[in-house]
Amino acid sequence: MIKFLSSSFLFLLACLLIVNSFEDTRTQKNWLVKKKLKALSAQSDSINTLFMGSSVTYRNFDPVYFDSLINQRMKANISSFNLGLPGASLLEIQYILQQVLANKPANLRTLILEVNDISLLLRQINSRSSRYINYHNFQRTTTICNSIITSPLSLTTKLQMLKTRIQICFSHYARSGDLHDIWKATLRNRNRRVDQPKKHYLNYFGYDGLSNQTSRQRTHYLSKEGQKAFQELLANAQQADKASLTSRYTLTATLKTFYEISQLCQKQNINIIVLNPPANGAWSFAINKLKTSHIPYPIIELNLPEKYPALFATENRFDIYHLNTKGAALATETLAELLISENIDF
């Protein structure tokens, strides 16, 4: 009887997850992703160096300026593209890299990869984003679910997190293959909210700098309260993040995903440069672990306020995480100088 009830409960739970996964998931289209991949595809045969990461890679490094510095100093001939994306985790980076490599880029030789700690947390609105749905295949969903299960979070929190991730995984497979017709029929009469594309003024090589113009976010950042909060954040970042569930309990998932990315690159003879961009000065479990693991890749750390204070100075910042165009130029110069000093072969 107990076995029957358990089986019935699991069956009902599975049905509930499937039904919920058919809710409106077209809340956010891949405007920026598609725009960047299209620009990259148009010049894929000439690009030999690729930046990948989150918004702190996207906003903080100018590939055109980077190329000019490297080519002038090293007598090289590199042509780079910034494929950084706002909010991109290492799991999404892996998915997008697979798409890029599937097109067999002829000359891609170097990947400058931001390695960020995968987060257990997921905003509810993002659970309906096509960007998240696209990379939540069974393998990646299992990776993050294992981290949730082994974390010391409460059972209620774990179940809610697992439900959300499994729903996204169902949505991933429901959008293609045999379930596609069911998917379309289920959504046909629902009200859909499709976000309008945000303004991104990309140059041809994927970079979009943040200016010093007045904005609510920047005004807050430059205020006395905002500056005080940022200085406190910098002072406490190393200690605070060491106790963060977001990073500590996803370390295995982060390292596993990094290893899989490195395997992809090895098959294509692509060299990796591990990058920790200037953000908020917070501790990174993944970067620290990679440093002690003696990986065969150079690790460039710029998220160090005490070592690179200019990258965290008010005049070079747009907000807590991002540099303005002046700061991005400085970060680009600093990265180029470090790679030149280590005599990296492009």
178-219 per-position pLDDT tens digit: 333 333 433 333 333 344 444 455 565 777 777 655 444 555
Task: Name which residue leads in pLDDT, 320 or 144.
Answer: 144
Determine the average pLDDT of the residues in 28-34: 70
Confidence of residue 234 (pLDDT cuts 50, 70, 90): low
Residue 178 inside a domain? The answer is: yes
Residues of the chain above pLDDT 90, percent: 42
User: Total structural domains in the chain?
Assistant: 1
Residues of the chain above pLDDT 70, percent: 71
Model confidence at 111: pLDDT above 70: yes
Residue 155 inside a domain? The answer is: yes
Residue 101 inside a domain? The answer is: yes
pLDDT of residue 222: 54
Nearest one of 111, 106, 103 to 82, comparing CA atoms: 111
Model confidence at 93: pLDDT above 90: yes
Model confidence at 67: pLDDT above 70: yes
Task: Name which residue leads in pLDDT, 276 or 124.
Answer: 276
Residue 346 inside a domain? The answer is: no
Each residue's pLDDT tens digit, 256-288: 999 999 999 999 999 999 999 998 777 788 898
Residue 11, burial from CB neighbour count under 10 angstroms (0-12, 13-18, 19+): exposed
Task: Name which residue leads in pLDDT, 213 or 324.
Answer: 324
Residue 299 inside a domain? The answer is: yes
Least confidently predicted of 76-80, 237-241, 307-311: 237-241
pLDDT of residue 320: 81
**Which amino acid, 72?**
Q
Confidence of residue 19 (pLDDT cuts 50, 70, 90): very low
Query: Taking a C-beta distance cutoff of 8 angstroms, is the pair 52, 112 a contact?
Result: yes
pLDDT of residue 50: 96
Least confidently predicted of 38-47, 196-205, 331-340: 196-205
The tokens 């780079």 sit on which residue?
Answer: 80
User: CA–CA separation, 94 vs 82, rounded Å?
Assistant: 15
pLDDT of residue 76: 83
Output b/e per residue, 291-318; b: 16+ Cβ within 10 A: eeeebebeebbbbebeebeebbeeebbb
User: CA–CA separation, 188 vs 274, rounded Å?
Assistant: 44
Range of the structural domain that residue 336 is part of: 2-341
Residue 266 inside a domain? The answer is: yes
Residue 235 inside a domain? The answer is: yes
Q: Quick one: three-class SS letters along the chain?
A: CHHHHHHHHHHHHHHHHHHHHCCCCCCECCHHHHHHHHHHHHCCCCCCEEEECCHHHHCCCCHHHHHHHHHHHHCCCCCEEECCCCCCCHHHHHHHHHHHHHCCCCCCCEEEEECCCCCCCCCHHHHHEHHHHHHCCHHHHHHHHHHHHHCCCCHHHHHHHHHHHHHHHHHHHHCCHHHHHHHHHHHCCCCCCCCCCCCCCCCCCCCCCCCCCCCHHHHHHHCHHHHHHHHHHHHHHHHHHHCCHHHHCCHHHHHHHHHHHHHHHHHCCCEEEEEECCCCCCCCHHHHHHHHCCCCCCEEECCCCCCCHHHHCHHHECCCCCECHHHHHHHHHHHHHHHHHCCCCC
Q: What is the average pLDDT value for the chain, to the nearest integer?
A: 78
Each residue's pLDDT tens digit, 144-170: 999 999 888 889 999 999 999 999 999
The CA angle 145-243-84, to the nearest 5 degrees, is 60
